[in-house]
Structure 1
Amino acid sequence: MTTTLNFATAPGHQVLAAAGKKILRPGGKAATEQLFTWANFQPGETVLELAASFGESAIQIAQRFNVRVVGVEKNPDSLAKARENIKAAGLSDKITIIEGDIFQLDKITDKFDYVLAEAILTMQSDAGKAKILAAIKNHLKPGGKFLSHEMLVHSNESEVRQSLSQTIRVNANPLTIEAWKTACRKAGLTLQQQQTGVMGLLNLGQMVRDEGLLGTVKIAWNVLINTNLRQRVLQMRRNFQQQRNNIGYIVFISSDM
């Protein structure tokens, strides 16, 4: 049974998902595509995806690149939906979604050619980032690659973190470019390529590119007809606009040092 959300207190990503938004990455589809280009997936390779949500990324990767994907998802509702989506796509032989916590990856004994994590590390403390990154390194095969898509902070770090945390209702701890590099290096990962850009999660233009025109219209309608949802989404949008000069996105690929 699907949990009923309290829009006033629920984490921002759950609120946006309830509105119908499927792409919840700060740089949108284009930034994720850059990661896939860098990765250069080969048929038969293996991918571990952290926080697999509804399984949409796993399905896309498996279909496009003929790789095997293991996804980790903690939320029971998301887990059930992911398995349903994977079955409907006819990819049960290529994708496995397991119930698990990204802080307990030691329960997974396999090693992978790639680990994919999008919009996950930003929401962790420095200690949390370090623990997850160390686990990621331990789950990579020799020469394996870590693919990451996260939020970037340019300036006024304390103000940005406080403002974002109050708005999206979860800890928000985006890093500067140098801090992301340092966090990876401490875990034994070398950042090889990076790209940064505008944080456009709720910008109309990026929404159309990410969700399509019809999808964007559906999201707008859902927001319009639900007062509590509308208040929360507009609050997040105002915050992102106010901080637009201080925040952005970063995608990077790193590997074992």
Structure 2
Amino acid sequence: MTTTLNLATVPGHQVLATAGKKILRPGGKAATEQLLTWANFQPGETLLELAASFGESAIEIAKRYKVRVVGIEKNPDSVAKARENIKAAGLSNQITIIEGDIFHLDKMTDKFDYVLAEAILTMQSDVGKAKILSGVKNCLKPGGKFLSHEMLVRDNAEQVRKSLSESIRVNANPLTVSDWSNLCRDAGLAIQQQQTGNMGLLNLNQMINDEGLLRTVKIIWNVLTKPNLRRRVLQMRRSFQQQGKNLGYIVFISQ
């Protein structure tokens, strides 16, 4: 039985997914590409991806870089879908998806060359962020690297967080550059490289770059023709625009 989403109350990422959006990262595909370039993956290395969802990014990374990927995902339906996608891609020997909670990384026995987390830490409290990063540190081999793509707040943090909470229905908690750095340092991770930029999740040019022209047109059509969807998407877009000077993205690699 298909569950009907209440678009007035569900988190923003579910709203955008309903509209047809695939790339749900604040800096878009370009920021993720920068992160992967910095990583400099070598064939045969190992990567742990947090909140692997349907396995799409795991599949892309495994194909492109010939690394072995383990994805951890809490939602059992997403785990099942990810395994189907991996099997269809012929990568079952290279990618493993496990059902688990990113707050319990201490249960992981394997160590990895890399850990990847995108748009995950922002949605956690300060305590939650610290717990996840502590687990990340424990999952890395000596000299291993943590790759992260998150929201950035530049100024007026409380105002930004309030606006985001009202529009995306999640208690988003983006940090400043220095706060991200301090958080990593407290977990025993030192930021080696970083890049920041503007929040472009609902920017038309970024959408075309991320989704392609055809999918962008389909997304816009879905938004325009479905009133409840349109209401939420426009609310999020207004929030992003209003906080444009204070809200952005950060990608960083720490070791």
C-alpha deviation, 1:2, in angstroms: 5.0
In terms of mean alpha carbon deviation, does 90-99 or 1-10 score higher? 1-10
Match of 2:139 in 1: 139
CA shift digits 1:73-112 (9 cap, x unpaired): 1123322222222122111111111111111112221110
- Residue aligned with 1:16, SS: helix
> Which residues of 2 match residues 101-250 of structure 1 at below 5 A?
101-250=101-250
* Cα separation, 2, equivalents of 1:55 and 1:224: 30
* Cα separation, 1, equivalents of 2:53 and 2:93: 19
- Residue aligned with 1:151, SS: strand
Does the alignment pair 1:13 with 2:42?
A: no
Does the C-alpha gap of structure 1 residues 80 and 172 become closer, same or farther in structure 2, counting only changes over 3 Å? same
In terms of mean alpha carbon deviation, does 114-123 or 12-21 score higher? 12-21
Contact kept, 8 Å, 1:3 with 1:77, in 2: the verdict is no
Match of 2:30 in 1: 30
Structure 1 stretches of 4+ with a deviation exceeding 6 A read none
Number of residue pairs matched by the alignment: 255
* Cα separation, 2, equivalents of 1:200 and 1:215: 17
C-alpha deviation, 1:146, in angstroms: 0.1
C-alpha deviation, 1:56, in angstroms: 1.1
TM-score (norm 1): 0.97
CA shift digits 1:210-236 (9 cap, x unpaired): 000011111112222221111111111
Match of 1:57 in 2: 57
C-alpha deviation, 1:9, in angstroms: 0.8
Unmatched 5+ stretches in structure 1: none
Match of 2:96 in 1: 96
Contact kept, 8 Å, 1:72 with 1:99, in 2: the verdict is yes
* Cα separation, 1, equivalents of 2:221 and 2:80: 26
* 2:97 aligned partner, one-letter code: I
* Cα separation, 1, equivalents of 2:203 and 2:226: 20
* Cα separation, 1, equivalents of 2:2 and 2:56: 18
Between the aligned residues of both structures, percent identity stands at 80
* Cα separation, 2, equivalents of 1:84 and 1:57: 14
Contact kept, 8 Å, 1:72 with 1:100, in 2: the verdict is yes
Contact kept, 8 Å, 1:125 with 1:173, in 2: the verdict is yes
TM-score (norm 2): 0.97
- Residue aligned with 2:142, SS: strand
C-alpha deviation, 1:42, in angstroms: 0.4
CA shift digits 1:39-76 (9 cap, x unpaired): 00000110000011121110110000001111111123
* 1:32 aligned partner, one-letter code: T
Unmatched 5+ stretches in structure 2: none
* Cα separation, 2, equivalents of 1:85 and 1:5: 24
RMSD: 1.0
Contact kept, 8 Å, 1:116 with 1:147, in 2: the verdict is yes
* 2:169 aligned partner, one-letter code: R
Does the C-alpha gap of structure 1 residues 69 and 2 become closer, same or farther in structure 2, counting only changes over 3 Å? farther
* Cα separation, 2, equivalents of 1:6 and 1:90: 36
> Which residues of 2 match residues 68-83 of structure 1 at below 5 A?
68-83=68-83
Contact kept, 8 Å, 1:165 with 1:171, in 2: the verdict is yes
* 2:5 aligned partner, one-letter code: L
C-alpha deviation, 1:14, in angstroms: 1.2
